[in-house]
Amino acid sequence: MKTCTWIGNGEGCNHPTVKDRSYCEHHIWSVYQKGTHLSKRKKDIRTAMTVHFWEDLFNQAVEELEAEGWSFEAEVDRIIA
Ligand SMILES: [Zn+2]
């Protein structure tokens, strides 16, 4: 019989695994929750990358406009004045 592969706090776990799984009944839910957490994190990373993508596009547009003599700073001053 296989034993749990949980290494949570570094001490490991020697409980028998749940059928066809790598973890015992005590740890399988911890792992599941960690997985859920990771997929949420993946979503956060995707969001950050998307924001970064738009920032890049934005900066590119500003650069092009500035090349034509338009000033982003002056424009901001004008808007908030
Ligand atoms: Zn365990």
Q: What's the CA gap between 36 and 38, in Å, rounded?
A: 5
- 25 belongs to a structural domain: no
- 66 belongs to a structural domain: yes
pLDDT at 1 exceeding the cut of 80? no
Q: What's the CA gap between 71 and 62, in Å, rounded?
A: 8
- 70 belongs to a structural domain: yes
Q: Which pLDDT score is estimated for 45?
A: 86
Which residues constitute the domain of residue 69? 43-80
**DSSP code, position 2:** -
CA of 21 to the centre of ligand 1 (A): 11
CA of 58 to the centre of ligand 1 (A): 49
- 36 belongs to a structural domain: no
If you search the block for the tokens 């998307």, which residue do you land on?
50
Dump pLDDT digits (tens) for 9-58: 777 888 999 988 899 998 888 877 878 888 888 888 888 889 988 999 99
- 55 belongs to a structural domain: yes
- 54 belongs to a structural domain: yes
- 50 belongs to a structural domain: yes
Q: Which pLDDT score is estimated for 67?
A: 92
Domain count along the chain? 1
CA of 6 to the centre of ligand 1 (A): 5
CA of 38 to the centre of ligand 1 (A): 20
